[in-house]
Amino acid sequence: MKILRKSIVFLIIFLISTEIIFTYAFPARYVYNQRINYEVFKDNVYSIELAVKSIKQTISRENIKNYYIFIGDSVGYGTPCPPDKTISSYLNTISKNEGKDVKFFNLALPSTMFGDYYTVLLLLKKYDVSIDNVILNFSYWEINAKTPTYWFNHYLKELDNNSYNKMVELGAIKEDSLWKNIKAEIYHFANRNIGIIGNSGFVTNKIKSITNSLLKESKPALSVWSSKADLKNAMTKPENRWYFSDKKFNLTENGIQIYFINKIIELQKDKNIIFILNATNNQLLENETAKQGYKDNIAAIEKLFNDKNAKFLNYNNKVDYKLFSDHVHLLPDGYAFIAQDLWNKFDKEI
Amino acid sequence: MLFNSIEFLIFFPVVTVLYFLLPHKIRWFLLLISSCIFYMAFVPKYILILGVTIVVDYFAGIIISRMQGNSKRIFLIVSLITNIGMLFVFKYFNFFNENIKHLSDMLNWNYPIAGLSIILPIGLSFHTFQSMSYIIEVYRGKQQPEKHFGIYALYVMYYPQLVAGPIERPQNMLWQFHKEHSFDAQRVSDGLKLMAWGFFKKIVIADNLALVVNSVYGNPTAVNGFSLVIATYFFAFQIYCDFSGYTDIARGASRVMGIELMQNFKRPYFSKTISEFWRRWHISLSSWFTDYVYIPLGGNRCAKWKWFRNTMIVFLLSGLWHGANWNYVIWGGLNGFYLVFAIISKDIRGKITKWTGIDKFPNVNKVVKVFCTFNLICFSWIFFRASSFAEAVTIIKRIFMDFSLKIDIGRAGVSRYQLLLSCGVIILLLAVQLYQRNRKIINDLNTRHVASRWIVYYSALIFIIIFGVFNTNSFIYFQF
């Protein structure tokens, strides 16, 4: 029994000391550095909470009063560019250069859906991070996607159980078994409450980046879409063709993405939200984007947001095709262009 | 249920606490039920296969002990046919069927038998061999038949070693199930430490090495020969840490409850000869083949050609035991060939050692021998790891034809960090194993000051959390 008591005492000491090191002495920039650390996030979705906490800390530490939260997909995230070459980071640079007192925080993530965007907003609200100013970017296909969430089922269930149940009823979300739910709760609890577990991915990532830079690991160079030989072929493959389908979108009120767009608009009532439709590479996808069905869908998306009196910007045909790195993602100059354009459009509001 | 899963993290303490709370009389029942739950977490219906072999072998054991002469042999054969039959249907039928079909196609014969669409029950080869061991020992009169059906079922199904061994003998296990084991804090602590080391080997070493090995072996034509050599070395340590990690967790979990399982590995990569390697690698399987195949065939106490034949039979069977695939057979055959060649070349090697004068430097001689043995074993691992014979040949060709001292492993998508981490964990493993040459690290730790002891535990725990791979990779030996 003595050994058991000793073990418990030492375990408590371990937990307290690691909690101090990994929670309070852990640099916030390892968690959030101009955007979410996707390398860590993809293995541990709960790290979104740490990113939100980190943003909250920055806001409070720097006493930031005027800020925008950028949510969205991989275009908003800045794929394939580094963190300092994304729309939000360029907006921060412009803001600084213009002497304005406004900051932009990037919570966009690759492969997200409207259910995910809504859940991120709820999470921000939960942590008392203002969602008074939000910029939300999305891609053409997302509005017709069959799944409401890619990452945040668990959070949706926790933060808006009614919406989650509605999606289960509609068959859009498959309810997990009791055991899977218990497991998810255990993971969630551990990540949320045990500093070393929640932050372990960031520590590994930091060690990885230090090692790679010491060993001069070369990063793949950013290249324009036209230099990628297989890209055109890849886009015609069945698994990619649906991205730019010309089939008529279901934009009626019973569509699952529309449900979450409505929820977002409802949540942002009396607040500022700008919806941005990402630009499409019309050179690469000249056949797809020339189809009447595609054009009709774009027009229908515009009408949808206009009918809801939401601020909406359509970047289709607005970005030079030379600024694309693939079908939708941009090179640094492309993201800089969007940032400048956004700044010009909303300068007065900002 | 995988040892490295959250399910086991809950299962193990619950079973252990209940085990010590319950009176000895019904502990077997708890362990049996727990073992059923553990096994059914994979594919529930396959417990029926276990059930059939348990019932057949239980009664066969009792009957064999009461019979004499031919009737005794008949029941032994019935039991062995049941066990081997199960193994054949589930593991080997499709392999033999496909090969016969290929042969028929080549000869333009019409071969009508279609393959079976069945999944291989997890750990089938392990528990079948354990059951066969019981029956043979009873037949030989070296083991009394177990009268208690529950205890016998537990012998076959005991959850720590059910799916990946060690393949135990009845003499080592049955009495332990009958004996009452009281709670011993020191023993529990030792068991937990062994488990922790097993988890470390699996989650930190094996699964990190797997990331490199899978990338390179998944795309062997992308890299040069040197990178393939590195990946093969990594695989050697991956499979060792994966399997010995499992064994350590199994032995540790069992030790906590007071039941000792046999040691399955004794620092095999420090072996000086191939035969020594096989005395230190997967000991429970090697000794099974030695006792039940090699010695009955005549072992080495016969004509030299028979000795060679016996060696080759054992290793070809050992290869086939690992999987119904020609690659495993070749792997086994290659190891058999190494041993035969070692016997043949013993005098010549002795002369070479003398001629070079290396025998005057015993330590250098030892290092050279360990290095050669390790490389021969690694060469055979290529067949074990490659997905097909053709791929193994491609890898070997590239190793010999496209060799330069430039590491281009990055072309297979491996980062320098991953490469460095892999080298780091291998060095750590070797350091621990060298330290353990003449002493046991667990015993050593127990004598250290409490603070230094806990620093080691804390460091290990932090290391596991930070560098561990937590996507619950299965253990390689589960597929056998």
The rounded distance, in Å, linking the Cα atoms of A291 and A247 is 10
ipTM here: 0.72
Predicted confidence at residue A193, as pLDDT, reads: 83
Q: How many domains does chain A have?
A: 1
Q: What distances in angstroms separate CA B15 from CA A7, A107, B152, B198, B260, one per listed residue?
A: 20, 44, 20, 19, 17
- Residue A294 maps to a domain: yes
The sheet with strand A67-72 has its strands ordered as: A103-106, A67-72, A133-138, A272-277, A311-314
Q: Does A178 touch chain B (CB under 8 A)?
A: no
Determine whether A52 is exposed, middle or buried from the number of CB atoms within 10 Å of its CB (0-12, 13-18, 19+).
buried
Mean pLDDT on A131-137: 93
Phi and psi based region of residue B282 (left: phi greater than 0; alpha: psi -120 to 50; beta: remaining)? left
Q: Determine the residue of chain B that is closest to A187 in CA distance.
A: B6
Q: What is the CATH number for A263? A: 3.40.50.1110
Predicted confidence at residue A137, as pLDDT, reads: 94
- Residue A281 maps to a domain: yes
Q: Determine the residue of chain B that is closest to A203 in CA distance.
A: B466
Predicted TM-score (pTM) of the model is 0.83
Mark the ranges of chain B whose per-residue pLDDT is less than 70. Answer: 472-474, 477-480
The rounded distance, in Å, linking the Cα atoms of B88 and B286 is 21
- Residue A203 maps to a domain: no
The rounded distance, in Å, linking the Cα atoms of B407 and B420 is 12
Predicted confidence at residue B18, as pLDDT, reads: 95
Predicted confidence at residue B478, as pLDDT, reads: 67
Predicted confidence at residue B282, as pLDDT, reads: 94
pLDDT digits (tens, 9 = 90+) for A9-65: 877 888 888 888 877 777 777 788 899 989 888 888 888 998 998 899 899 989 998
- Residue A51 maps to a domain: yes
Sequence length of chain A is: 350
Beta carbons of B417 and A200 less than 8 Å apart: no
pLDDT band (50, 70, 90) for residue A81 = very high
Which residues make beta-bridge pairs with A277?
Answer: A138, A314
Q: Does A15 touch chain B (CB under 8 A)?
A: no
- The residue with greater pLDDT, A322 or A7, is A322
Q: What is the mean pLDDT of chain B?
A: 90
Predicted confidence at residue A136, as pLDDT, reads: 95
Q: CB-CB: which of A203, A204, A212 is closest to B415?
A: A212
Predicted confidence at residue A347, as pLDDT, reads: 64
> Taking Cα atoms as reference points, which of B205, B358, B329, B327 lies closest to residue B269?
B205
**What is the percentage of chain A residues whose pLDDT exceeds 70?**
98
Residues of B in contact with A3 (CB under 8 A): 185-186, 188-189
pLDDT band (50, 70, 90) for residue A207 = confident
Residues of B in contact with A10 (CB under 8 A): 454, 457
- The residue with greater pLDDT, A216 or B393, is B393
- The residue with greater pLDDT, A251 or B55, is B55
Predicted confidence at residue B479, as pLDDT, reads: 64
Q: What is the mean pLDDT of chain A?
A: 87
Predicted confidence at residue A22, as pLDDT, reads: 79
| Range in A34-48, A50-64, A105-119, A211-225 with the lowest mean pLDDT | A211-225
Predicted confidence at residue B119, as pLDDT, reads: 80
- Residue A6 maps to a domain: no
pLDDT band (50, 70, 90) for residue A7 = confident
Predicted confidence at residue B27, as pLDDT, reads: 94
Minimal CA separation from B249 to chain A, in Å? 20
CA within 13 Å, CB half, B90 = 21
Mean pLDDT on A177-190: 85
3-state secondary structure of A277: strand
Domain ranges of chain B: 6-183, 187-479
Predicted confidence at residue A179, as pLDDT, reads: 85
CA within 13 Å, CB half, B321 = 23
Mean pLDDT on A112-125: 94
Residue of B449, B466, B467, B471 to mutate, interface with A, max A Cβ within 10 Å:
B466
- Residue A80 maps to a domain: yes
3-state secondary structure of A273: strand
| Active site amino acids of B | 322
Predicted confidence at residue B450, as pLDDT, reads: 78
The rounded distance, in Å, linking the Cα atoms of A334 and B436 is 59
**Residue A350 confidence (pLDDT) above 60:** no
Q: Does B5 touch chain A (CB under 8 A)?
A: no
Residues of B in contact with A207 (CB under 8 A): 417, 466
Beta carbons of B417 and A14 less than 8 Å apart: no
Give me the domain span that covers residue A342. Answer: 28-151+222-346
pLDDT band (50, 70, 90) for residue A228 = confident
